[in-house]
Structure 1
């Protein structure tokens, strides 16, 4: 019986697998992209590039790095998590203004350009050394996103340090419509106050900021007790950022790991469904691979499959009644 299988059925079936695999491979090469609806995202990611973001109090692969470098690494990881059809753009913040560097572009077709431009963001782009996050940066980032359109949400990455500092009694936000704002306020930095590097216009460190070099938090009006402050040092102002996020309608998340940013950016609350060209060439390619695997499978595999087929047919004949309503005799099977 095995010889009969090898001489008749097996060679004939195996020979057909090769041309079928060839046709599948040709289809994988020439097959165009198929437009399918899917969930996508659109973001303008704003990086705080003030000098406090140069503090090296976070680590990447066990090596201390600056907050800005850590944020860039997290964003690089997030690019790989966003589905094709999503769009991402870059902007930077210092002073009271957010400056758009790159309008949102599709992440898969422009992945290399996005990575290179992301790595190029650093403190040398800074045009001033003071900053206002709540009263300038967030407003400006939202305006930029609205001007760009495309339903872009905001991702604002900062350590929360402002210079000069905002007095504790001062209102953080005025007349802001939280219903028009969507996105994330992302906090990055350590919990312990650390010295802030002082850099020149070329981005070279020339020392550290001292207490007499910066403006400290003023005393609360009506209080004779001076405020305890150390604005020459910096740590993540998470409580402050959480308050700003609550008042603006943004979500707040701390950047504990490089994967946290990507997890936030694929939040389904910020997804929108639209038709996207989808590459399905892997389907015929996989089919060709299976055909070739079958073509060159050992004879014992084919004999086992043939035996399984015979067993199933025999089982069906025993269970399913014949057309005349009688079961076939057991010996005929």
Structure 2
């Protein structure tokens, strides 16, 4: 037994750098194949994203990649980008709002495992799903979205995307939402739309264009009971109701964000205040595979080629050039005869004397 161990130790001592590298590669590849998932602490998020699909969201006053698109399409594009950036373990679901309630379409599901399903279902959301022309955002949409989040789970947050246009308009005297305790459910109120009033496209029940809404088609603010006399309103036109949405965020305890770029929604949804820390089974096998590749590359790839792959140049010896004045002086100096070698000239002492 001792002799076997001694031979093994002698054999290991004879290993060179290449042999040890191959052993390390085999170990790393084995880990890449059979290493189980590790439970690591991660931050995850759970959201129900509610889209306002009323007809004012069809106003094309947003620009994406040089193209004028509707507010709803812009919101969907921003959400698609946000899902792509969310960490694994997070869950997202979809809801739509019109009339006086939000309808849950998809319960929150994990973003990495169900990524394709999330994007496919997101592509199916449009204004043709509308079941009413009214738009009661505060007492209808936001209220029901909060109730949905409560039913789904404790850590579920709300993302409500709208332009803020109520139809009929909400009386100015209403400054709270009954049944909603500010801060009881976390959430984001996202405003989307331009600052200039635009005509609202009208569509039939099948989603076909049918002109635009006129002033006589909608309820104006000054027509509400108890409204103060003043300049006539133009509820047939639509723009982002930014101040109104900010007031709603205070009534609900939500954070408010005006959607100016798709990336701004991603940053909002990754806000650490909305994160929940938990242990998530994480696949780390690719780390071992990457380490094996690096070892093989470092051992078997020639140094000059490795430097080119890594974008690093090897140091080279450079000739030191003499100053121009010194070079000119050397080139103009007269040629001198080679030094006289006295050892090659016969002398008297180099021959024996004649007797």
CA RMSD in angstroms comes to 2.2
**Paired residue for 1:163, among 167, 185, 192?**
167
Q: Which residue of 2 aligns with 1:208?
A: 212
**Distance change (3 Å), C-alpha of 1:223 and 1:75:** closer
Structure 2's unaligned 5+ residue stretches are 1-12, 307-355
Q: Which residue of 2 aligns with 1:138?
A: 142
**Offset of 1:223 from its aligned partner?**
6.8
CA contact (8 A) 1:34 1:279 kept: yes
Quick one: distance in 2 between partners of 1:10 and 1:215? 92
Q: Which residue of 2 aligns with 1:128?
A: 132
Quick one: distance in 2 between partners of 1:106 and 1:126? 27
**Distance change (3 Å), C-alpha of 1:33 and 1:248:** same
TM-score by length of 2: 0.78
**Offset of 1:283 from its aligned partner?**
1.2
Provide, for residues 189-208 of structure 1, a one-character-per-residue CA deviation record: whole Å limited to 9, x for no partner: 00000111111222221211
Q: Which residue of 1 aligns with 2:68?
A: 64
Provide, for residues 115-153 of structure 1, a one-character-per-residue CA deviation record: whole Å limited to 9, x for no partner: 111111111111101010111111100001111115200
Quick one: distance in 1 between partners of 2:211 and 2:33? 58
Quick one: distance in 2 between partners of 1:62 and 1:71? 16
CA contact (8 A) 1:78 1:265 kept: yes
CA contact (8 A) 2:222 2:228 kept: no
**Offset of 1:228 from its aligned partner?**
2.9
**Distance change (3 Å), C-alpha of 1:41 and 1:146:** same
Quick one: distance in 2 between partners of 1:219 and 1:226? 11
Quick one: distance in 2 between partners of 1:220 and 1:75? 36
Greater mean deviation of Cα atoms: 33-42 or 68-77: 33-42
Q: Which residue of 1 aligns with 2:93?
A: 89
TM-score by length of 1: 0.83
Query: What secondary structure does 1:178 align onto?
Result: coil
Query: What secondary structure does 2:57 align onto?
Result: helix
Point out the structure with max Rg over C-alpha: 2
**Distance change (3 Å), C-alpha of 1:211 and 1:223:** closer
Q: Which residue of 2 aligns with 1:77?
A: 81
Q: Which residue of 2 aligns with 1:199?
A: 203
**Paired residue for 1:271, among 263, 275, 281?**
275
Q: Which residue of 1 aligns with 2:42?
A: 38
Query: What secondary structure does 2:234 align onto?
Result: coil
Provide, for residues 225-277 of structure 1, a one-character-per-residue CA deviation record: whole Å limited to 9, x for no partner: 34431111100001000000011100100000001111111111111111111
Count of aligned residue pairs for this structure pair: 294
Q: Which residue of 2 aligns with 1:225?
A: 229
Quick one: distance in 2 between partners of 1:231 and 1:241? 16
**Offset of 1:178 from its aligned partner?**
1.0
Q: RCO higher in 1 or 2 (8 Å CA, sep ≥ 6)?
A: 1
**Distance change (3 Å), C-alpha of 1:26 and 1:250:** same
**Offset of 1:300 from its aligned partner?**
7.4
Quick one: distance in 1 between partners of 2:278 and 2:23? 38
CA contact (8 A) 1:48 1:94 kept: yes
Structure 1's unaligned 5+ residue stretches are 1-8, 303-333
